[in-house]
């Protein structure tokens, strides 16, 4: 089997825990090269995975190596420059979330992708969980009727303890750009709707200085559907996971774990599927599905899911969310 040649730029936690272990086990993938500014980390990972080429300068890697696709897993403030350089080098790319620090940078990546006729996929891995895909299929089948309300949230500790992560200049924001953008992407995907009308959000900074550590908000759509959300690094809650409920005119579906019910005159039908999958397995499976989809799209030049256009829509929403929090009022979108 001819192998797809993949490079990885940025060798932090997510690359070491997820991307490299999964990619190294895929029979149709060859990790041709890696790049990171940390020389010791670079050499250690090169030896561990038997990767032939490693670079501290990713541009040198793009010039010298035969590469078809690039996984970008570097800090957020580097995403735009690296992504644009990869696109100019005619590589398809997978960028770990968020796509960039702000809407302006996201649009620059979008423009570069169109100009160079290459694809950009953004790592919204919640879409690739088996239970989330089953839930969307149930919604799309019409079994729940017309969806009118989605309620979602994610309460857990912050994803990284590195100092840049809570420096707004480097990260673009706090819990909203960390957890919020993921759960909102999932909510929009389940609703299958990007016709945003307005948003109202309240943020809090109890344990952080210049970024938010909690946020609560409501999004309204052009057809009067509603999505409410809560995200936090600091709420004292009974759980440490995301949750999502989709309410339709005929039934309701819940995520994590997956449960679904349809109302009938004589009672209700329970669509809940028996499963032994635990959160760790679902987490791993989501990344496996995501990376396999990326590789297939690169190999076949087929359309990607969680695209750059989707990411730009999300960044427009995030921009309005931060404006709402700052101005303490509802913001009309678009």
Pairwise CA distance, residues 69 & 210, whole Å: 36
Q: Is residue 69 part of a domain?
A: yes
Specify the pLDDT at position 330: 98
- Residues 44 and 131 both lie in one domain: no
Query: Does one domain contain both 16 and 77?
Result: yes
Q: Is residue 115 part of a domain?
A: yes
Q: Is 326 exposed, middle or buried (0-12, 13-18, 19+ CB in 10 A)?
A: exposed
pLDDT tens, per residue, the chain with 334 residues: 799 999 999 999 999 999 999 999 999 999 999 999 999 999 999 999 999 999 999 999 999 999 999 999 999 999 999 999 999 999 999 999 999 999 999 999 999 999 999 999 999 999 999 999 999 999 999 999 999 999 999 999 888 888 999 999 999 999 999 999 999 999 999 999 889 999 999 999 999 988 999 999 999 999 999 999 999 998 877 777 899 999 999 999 999 889 998 876 555 666 565 555 677 788 899 999 999 999 999 999 999 999 999 999 999 999 999 999 999 999 999 7
Tell me whether residue 219 is in a domain: yes
- Residue 256 maps to a domain: yes
What's the pLDDT at 257?
86
**Domain end call among 106, 124, 142:** 124
d(CA 66, CA 111): 24
The CATH code of the domain that includes 65 is 3.40.50.720
**Residue 221 shares a structural domain with residue 86:** no
Gap between the Cα atoms of 105 and 154, Å rounded: 26
Shared domain check, 174 and 98: no
The answer on 324 and 185 residing in a single domain is yes
Distance CA 216, CA 198 (A): 14
Q: Tell me: do 258 and 187 sit in the same domain.
A: yes
* Structural domain contains residue 271: yes
Longest dimension (CA), the chain: 68
Residue 303 lies in a domain: no
Given 124, 155, 179, which residue is the final one in a domain? 124
Specify if 292 maps to a domain.
Answer: no
Question: How many angstroms separate the first and last alpha carbons of the chain?
Answer: 47
- Do 36 and 133 sit in the same domain of this protein? no
Task: Return d(Cα 106, Cα 110) in angstroms, integer.
Answer: 6
Tell me, what CATH number does 327's domain have?
3.30.360.10
Over residues 288-330, the pLDDT tens digits come to 999 999 999 999 999 999 999 999 999 999 999 999 999 999 9
- Domain co-membership, 119 together with 133: no
Domain end position, chosen among 124, 143, 160: 124
- Tell me whether residue 301 is in a domain: no
Strand pairing report for 259-264 and 29-35: unpaired
Asked if residue 137 and residue 109 are part of one domain, the reply reads no
Spell out the residues 6+ positions from residue 195 whose beta carbon is closer than 8 angstroms to its own: 221, 222, 223
| Residue 314: C-alpha distances to residues 103, 122, 147, 240 (Å) | 9, 11, 20, 24
| 204 lies in the same domain as 119 | no
Question: Using an 8 Å Cβ cutoff, are 142 and 262 in contact?
Answer: no
How would you label 210-235 residue by residue, b for 16+ Cβ within 10 Å and e otherwise? ebbbbbbbbbbbeeebebebbbbbbb
- In the chain, the number of structural domains is 2
Q: Pairing state of beta strands 147-155 and 120-123?
A: unpaired
Q: Are residues 61 and 83 in the same domain?
A: yes
Range of the domain at 59: 4-124
Is 119 in the same domain as 151?
no
């Amino acid at each position: 089997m001819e192998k797809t040649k993949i490079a990885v730029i940025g060798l932090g936690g997510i690359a070491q825990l997820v991307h490299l272990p999964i990619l190294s086990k895929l029979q149709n993938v060859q990790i041709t090269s890696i790049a990171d500014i940390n020389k010791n980390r670079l050499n250690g990972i090169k030896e561990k995975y038997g990767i032939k080429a490693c670079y501290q300068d990713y541009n040198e890697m793009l010039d010298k190596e035969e590469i078809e696709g690039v996984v970008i897993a570097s800090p957020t403030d580097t995403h735009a420059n690296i992504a644009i350089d990869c696109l100019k080098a005619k590589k398809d790319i997978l960028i770990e979330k968020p796509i960039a620090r702000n809407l302006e940078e996201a649009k620059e990546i979008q423009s570069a992708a169109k100009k160079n006729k290459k694809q950009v996929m953004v790592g919204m891995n919640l879409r690739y969980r088996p239970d989330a895909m089953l839930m969307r299929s149930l919604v799309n089948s019409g079994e729940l009727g017309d969806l009118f309300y989605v309620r979602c949230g994610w309460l857990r500790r912050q994803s990284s303890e590195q100092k840049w992560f809570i420096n707004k200049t480097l990260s673009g924001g706090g819990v909203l750009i960390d957890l919020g953008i993921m759960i909102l992407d999932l909510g929009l995907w389940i609703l299958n709707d990007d016709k945003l009308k307005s948003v109202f959000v309240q943020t809090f900074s109890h344990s952080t200085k210049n970024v938010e550590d909690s946020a609560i908000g409501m999004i309204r759509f052009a057809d009067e559907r509603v999505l409410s959300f809560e995200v936090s690094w600091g709420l004292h809650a009974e759980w440490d996971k995301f949750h999502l409920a989709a309410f339709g005119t005929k039934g309701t579906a819940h995520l994590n774990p997956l449960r679904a019910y349809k109302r009938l005159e004589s009672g209700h039908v329970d669509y809940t599927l028996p499963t032994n999958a635990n959160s760790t397995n679902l987490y791993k499976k989501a990344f496996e599905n995501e990376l396999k989809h990326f590789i297939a799209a690169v190999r076949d030049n087929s359309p990607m899911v969680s695209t750059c256009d989707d990411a730009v829509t999300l960044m427009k929403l995030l921009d309005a969310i931060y404006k709402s929090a700052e101005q303490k009022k509802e913001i009309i979108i678009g």
